[in-house]
């Protein structure tokens, strides 16, 4: 399928639901970033914007990208309404085609899954190379299927954090894996429905 199909699909996903007035940040982000000195952050696949807004509220300067124009336009408006417009820049971007040409202290990729073709290893490798020395790449993937997920295939397999790290093929002399585990949590889905889910968490730090 083409990029145009992906743009249309994700625009449709966000347009079909009401704009989030106060989106919450992902738990794996807050537990990882709390205490770190703020700098420049990149939010890959910003979605409703909970992560970007939380980071901005902590003093980070955030570049938030998403393939959906609906998502980035809503986030830009939310940032302004929260008086965080100076800390959040939103960009419609297809990371399958190119990568934002800057350096960052933190790059977050939460649930960067799609029904369309995506060379995730290449995207995450580009993210690792976009880190400044000392910067971190946080990758959080689904490790289980939530009842409300669009992907309910019985044969769905979720690569482990170790497999994801191996696929990125980073030089251990330059990048260090600081965390690779599969914690569980209670997630809240549409309509307030809850379920226990597994996250696959990978944290990589650029050391040189």
The answer to whether 65 and 89 have CB atoms below 8 angstroms apart is no
Angle between helix axes 120-129 and 161-168 (nearest 10 degrees) is 70
**Strand 40-44 and strand 61-66: pairing?**
parallel
The H or E element containing residue 204 is strand 194-206
119-158 pLDDT per residue, tens: 999 999 999 999 999 999 999 999 998 877 766 677 788 8
* pLDDT, position 7: 86
Say how far apart CA 70 and CA 47 lie, in whole Å. Answer: 9
Q: CATH code at 167?
A: 3.40.50.150
Say if strands 40-44 and 104-110 run parallel, antiparallel, or are unpaired: parallel
Give residue 159's domain range.
3-206
Q: Kindly report which listed range (106-115, 151-160, 177-186) carries the lowest average pLDDT score.
A: 151-160
Q: Residues 3-42: pLDDT tens digits?
A: 568 889 889 989 988 888 889 999 999 999 999 999 999 9
Number of domains in the chain: 1
d(CA 80, CA 187): 28
Structure tokens at 92: 């419609």
Tens of pLDDT, residue by residue over 50-63, are 999 999 999 999 99
What average pLDDT does the segment 178-183 reach? Answer: 97
Count Cβ atoms below 10 Å from residue 44 Cβ, excluding itself. Answer: 25
C-alpha dihedral (52, 7, 123, 18), degrees to nearest 10 = 30
Q: Averaged over 61-85, what is the pLDDT?
A: 96
Measured at the CA of 53, the angle between CA 51 and CA 59, to 5 degrees, comes to 105
């Amino acid at each position: 399928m083409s990029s145009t199909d992906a743009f249309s699909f994700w625009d449709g996903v966000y347009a079909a639901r009401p704009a989030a007035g106060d989106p919450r940040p992902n738990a794996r982000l807050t537990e990882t970033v709390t205490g770190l000195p703020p700098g420049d952050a990149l939010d890959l696949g910003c979605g409703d914007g909970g992560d970007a807004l939380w980071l901005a509220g902590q003093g980070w300067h955030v570049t938030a990208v998403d393939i959906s124009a609906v998502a980035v336009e809503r986030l830009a408006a939310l940032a302004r309404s929260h008086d965080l417009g100076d800390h959040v820049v939103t960009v419609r971007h297809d990371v399958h085609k190119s990568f934002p040409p800057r350096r960052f202290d933190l790059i977050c990729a939460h649930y960067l899954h799609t029904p369309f073709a995506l060379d995730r290893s290449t995207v995450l490798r580009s993210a690792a190379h976009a880190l400044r020395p000392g910067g971190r790449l946080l990758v959080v993937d689904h490790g289980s299927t939530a009842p409300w997920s669009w992907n309910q295939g019985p044969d769905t397999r979720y690569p482990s954090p170790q497999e994801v790290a191996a696929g990125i093929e980073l030089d251990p002399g330059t990048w260090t894996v600081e965390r690779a585990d599969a914690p569980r949590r209670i997630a809240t889905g549409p309509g307030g429905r809850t379920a226990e889910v597994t996250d696959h968490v990978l944290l990589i730090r650029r050391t040189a």
